[in-house]
Amino acid sequence: MLREKLRDATKPLHDRLDLGLGAVVNDVDITLYRDLLCRFLGFLIPWEDRVRRVFEGGPFAATFASRSKIGWLIADLESLGFDEAARSQIPIAEDLPNVSTLGRALGSMYVIEGSTLGGVHVARRLEEKLGLDANNGLRYFNNYGASRNSKWREFIEILEAHSSPSVDAEAVATAIDTFKYLGDWLVPTTQDLTL
């Protein structure tokens, strides 16, 4: 199954990103948290645009649109006092994975959609440390809420329905690249996350 191939191939990179983000979250204050949200937004704006173009006009267009994370990040930043003028100053990632085919886009989505599962654990830690909640600063990490597991299953069904040797190869390679690019963007070093 493609899901297992993706999980096995990306495990070391997934663990590395978890460790880096875990270090940030353990030492987080509101400024560092805001900077982390900015980094996520700076990655996801161009990433979502590129993936949307792959799915545009096809059967996945509505499914992908319903999975956008940008609105959640903007809501969180606004709740932390970040206005549109401040958002316009957020650095935008230029080094992104190649998502130019269905297989590549699905492999990259595996990483981003998979992050919604771990987001709930991050949200709990941030709620304890910063006193935020899903309606005040933690919308992104609470993501789909009670629908999280069903949204993940839906994505996995789409992923598996398109599995083939060529799609699988592209998906695995791009999932690996996505973890690398995302990790390098989010946590260039665990000591220097500030923008």
**Residue range 44-102, pLDDT digits in tens:** 999 999 999 999 988 888 889 999 999 999 999 999 999 888 888 999 999 999 999 99
3-state secondary structure of 89: coil
- What is the value of pTM for the model shown? 0.92
Closest CA to 44 of 20, 23, 66, 74: 74
Domains of the chain: which residue ranges? 2-186
Q: Look at the domain 2-186 and name its fold.
A: Heme Oxygenase; Chain A (1.20.910)
| CB environment 113-146: b (16+ within 10 A), e (fewer) | bbbbeebbebbeebbeebebebeebbbbbbbbee
Give residue 189's pLDDT.
Answer: 55
